[in-house]
Amino acid sequence: MNEHISLQQVTLRFETLTVLENIDLSLTKGEFVVLLGPSGCGKSTILNLLAGFTQPQQGRVLCGGEPVRQPHPSRGMIFQQPNLFPWLNVLENVTFGPRLRKHNRAEVDARAREWLARVGLAGFEDHAPWQLSGGMKQRVALARAWLPGPEVLLLDEPFGALDAQTRMMMQELLRAAWLETQTTLLFVTHDVEEALFLADRVLVMSARPGRIVEDIRLPFGRERDIETLASEPHYGDIKHHVLQRVRQEAKRHLAPLNEGER
């Protein structure tokens, strides 16, 4: 299969703390992969490596066969907090990056309006961030991330702060956008049900130092209905298995730290 982004035998330490040790991970082009694991196991660190914010001490980080050395607009990132500029309106927030790079303003605005419509924010272009709910702000962040036409999107618990209803709507929105664009997505979450609705493949990480301990391809197909997914054959078994695995690792994480790890 054609590898799009990967970590190869990556080891990353912060001073004496080994966060990732000889980790291998790869996504094919257009794949939607969800990463689950206990807090502190290195999930955000993996996204930061792939984004080009951090470099490993050992191993290789590749995108399209080339080493990742610095951030690039072809690799977008979405965080739990939407991080909008409070003094810019919705449209200006979405177009801020492309404008900086001096693209044609009218064309960028037109594409931004299209993305805003797609995420359900047509008519909100002139609103200020403080006039929006949390879910609406995160929709702005989605439109902003998608506007430059990234090849890869890295999502770090993007819906973690939203209420359950908003969260489901955002999950449906994200899947629809992904089906349309065929972007390669790596999505971090704590929520097993979210993982099972979104992913082609679910990776479970161990407690620190992080390794991939489970790699599960989901059998649910491309067309998924969030309301009926739970009645698919194997859904219950897979959910039980993944939950158990994640809990196991979380318990290991909570075990007292060894000397030298404190």
Ligand X SMILES: Nc1ncnc2c1ncn2[C@@H]1O[C@H](COP(=O)(O)OP(=O)(O)O)[C@@H](O)[C@H]1O
Cis omega (within 30 of 0) on the bond before 158? no
Candidate residues 8, 18, 40, 113; the one interacting with ligand X per rule CB under 6 A: 40
> In angstroms, what CA-CA distances link 138 with 142, 157, 224, 229?
6, 11, 22, 25
Q: How far is the C-alpha of 204 from the C-alpha of 45, rounded, in Å?
A: 15
211 binding ligand X? (CB under 6 A): no
Q: How is the beta sheet containing 75-78 ordered, strand by strand?
A: 75-78, 152-156, 184-188, 32-36, 201-205, 212-217
The rounded distance, in Å, linking the Cα atoms of 152 and 115 is 17
State in angstroms the smallest separation of the CB of 105 from ligand X: 37
Residue 73's binding partner among ligand X, Mg ion, none (Cβ under 5 to 8 angstroms by kind) is none
* Nearest CA-CA partner of 40 in 69, 8, 62, 18: 18
**CB under 5 to 8 A by kind: which of ligand X, Mg ion, none does 224 bind?**
none
Q: CB of 192: closest distance to ligand X in angstroms?
A: 16
Provide, rounded to whole angstroms, the least separation between the CB of residue 77 and Mg ion: 12
Contacts of 246 by beta carbon, 8 Å cutoff, 6+ apart: 36, 37, 38, 192, 204
For residue 11, give the 3-state DSSP assignment: strand
Query: Which residue of 6, 44, 93, 171 would you call a contact of ligand X, by CB under 6 A?
Result: 44
Q: Which does 14 bind (CB under 5 to 8 A by kind): ligand X, Mg ion, none?
A: ligand X
- Give me the residue whose beta carbon is nearest to Mg ion: 44
Length of the chain counted residue by residue = 262
Decide if residue 44 touches Mg ion (CB under 5 A). yes
Residue 43 within binding range of ligand X, rule CB under 6 A: yes
Nearer to ligand X among residue 151 and residue 249 (C-beta): 249
For the segment 123-152, give every residue that binds ligand X (CB under 6 A). none
**In the beta sheet, which residues pair with residue 204?**
36, 214
Cβ-based nearer residue to Mg ion, 42 or 135: 42
The piece of 43-51, 63-71, 125-133, 242-250 that touches ligand X (CB under 6 A) is 43-51
By C-beta, is 6 or 45 nearer to ligand X? 45
Residue 109 per-residue DSSP state: H
> Interface residues with Mg ion (CB under 5 A)?
43-44
Interface ranges with ligand X (CB under 6 A): 14, 17, 19, 37, 39-45
